[in-house]
Amino acid sequence: MSSYRAPRGTRDLLPESRAALSRLEGIARSLAVRYGYREMEIPLFEQVSVFERGIGPATDVVEKELFRLTPRTEDSESWALRPEATAGIVRAYVQHGMQTWPQPVKLTVVGSMFRYDRPQAGRYRQFWQWDAETIGDPGPAVDAEVIEMGRRFYAEAGVADVQVLLNSIGDSACRPAYLARLKSYFASHEAELPELERRRLETNPLRLLDSKDPTMTAVVSAAPKISECLCDACEAHFAAVRAHLDAVGVPYRLEPTLVRGLDYYARTAFEYYRRGAEGQQQALGGGGRYDGLVELLGGRPTQAIGFALGLDRVMLALDEAGAQPAREAPPLAVVVGADPADTVSRLRVASLLRGEGLSVRAELAQRKLGRQLETASKEHAHFAVILGDELAEGNVQLKDLEAGTQRLVPLADLAHELARAAKSHHHG
C-alpha cells in the first residue's frame, strides 16, 4: 500500500462525495440566479494585505490560519490562499470599477477556501463555501432578503430545523461608547480571563463575546448588551430588518453575543444553526453588513452585506441525519456487443450518440455479452444498445433495462429514440 496520503486536514472527494457537493453547488447557483446574483470567480490566492485589511490583522484567520505562499520570483509581494471570499470579491469590485455599475451589485462565488485550522469533524483546511455579496444597498430590506436566501438554501438542501441567530452590532456612531463600556466590564474581570482573551481585551474587546473558551461563558453572559447602546438610526434599521423577516416568514432568535469584531462591520449580523446543535463549532454559515470594507480596500464609502455558507457542514449535517446520498447521474445508455472483440463498432456508435449530446458509455472490455449487460444494469443505465448481426443492415437492438423490453431500431433513428426517452423517461 502506498505511503502517500492527502495532506492533513484535507480529503479526496470520491465520486459519491463529489456528487453530493455538486448537488449543493447546483442549489446555490439556482438560488443565486433566482435572487438576481451574478456568478464570478476570484483567484485562489491574493496579496496578504487584502486579507490583513479585509479580515483584520488581529483575527485568528490572519494571525494563525493563513496559508502563506512564497513566490519563486524576485517579486516582493506576499501572497496567501484565500481563507474566505468576501475580501477578494470587494477587491475585485474596487479594481474593476464596479461602483460605476447600476447599484447594488450582487455577486456570488462557489468554491474552495483554505485555512490552516485544527482539523476536526466538519472543519477542514480546504473547504467549500457558497458566498453571496450585495454591494451598494444600505438595507434594511436587502438584509432580510440575504438572510431569507440563506435559509432557503438549507431548506432546499434538506437540512431540517435550521434557525437564524440575529443581532445588531451598531455602527461608528454608537459602537465606540459600547466598546468603552465593554472594555471597562471585562477589565474588572481581568483576573478571570484566559491569556488569549486578555490580549484581545486590548486589541479588540468585541471578540471576547464570541470566545471559544468554555471558561468565558459566565463572564460573557453577564457582559453589557449592545442592544442597550444602539443609536436611534441603528435601532430603527434593526427593527426594520426584523419586520421584513417577519413579512417573509423567517423565524429568528435574537442573540446579543453574536458579533463581528472588526470596525468596518456594522449593524446586522447573523448565523445559521441546526436547532439543538449550537456552539462555536456548529455554525452552518453566517454573515453580516460590512459598510466600511469597500472604502478600506480603496473604494468610495459603500454599504454592503453578504454571507458565507459552509457546504462541508451541510454535507456532514445530511450524513448525520441519514439523508439518502446523492447519486451520480447514470449513463442514459451503454453500447454493448455480441462480438466481444468488436470494440471498434461499439466505440463508433457511442461516439455518434455522444455527438448528439447524449450520455453514453461504450463497453470496451472484451468480454461476453451477458457480462456487458450485467455491468450496464449495475450502473443503472436506462438502455443498452446491443450491436449484433443486424448492424450490417443498419439496425441495432435497443433494450430497456428498466422495463425489460427490447426492440429493433434503425441506427439512423437511434439518437432520436434515446433523446425522446431521456426527455420523457418512458419505458421503450
Pick the CATH number of 15-174+230-320 from 3.30.420.40, 3.40.50.150, 3.40.50.2300, 3.30.930.10: 3.30.930.10
Cell 470587494, located at residue: 90
pTM: 0.88
Q: Do 266 and 292 contact (CB within 8 A), yes or no?
A: yes
- Nearest-angstrom CA–CA distance, 220 and 225: 10
Sheet of 268-274, strand order? 38-39, 105-114, 126-135, 304-310, 285-289, 268-274, 162-168, 252-254
Per-residue pLDDT tens over the stretch 110-164: 999 999 877 777 789 999 999 999 999 999 999 999 999 999 999 999 999 899 9
Long-range contacts of 373-377 (CB under 8 A, 24+ apart): 373/336, 373/399, 373/401, 375/334, 376/334, 376/336, 376/401, 377/401
pLDDT(40) > 90: yes
- pLDDT score recorded for residue 269: 95
CA dist 133 and 105 (Å) reads: 8
Query: Is the Cβ–Cβ distance between 164 and 149 less than 8 Å?
Result: no
Q: What is the pLDDT of residues 44-84, one digit of tens each?
A: 999 988 988 767 665 666 667 888 887 776 667 789 999 99
Residue 35 has pLDDT above 70, yes or no: yes
Q: For 151-176, how does the pLDDT look when each residue is reduced to its tens digit (9 = 90+)?
A: 999 999 999 989 999 999 999 899 89
Fold that domain 333-424 belongs to in CATH: Rossmann fold (3.40.50)
Residue type, 121: A
What are the sequence ranges of the domains in the chain?
15-174+230-320, 333-424
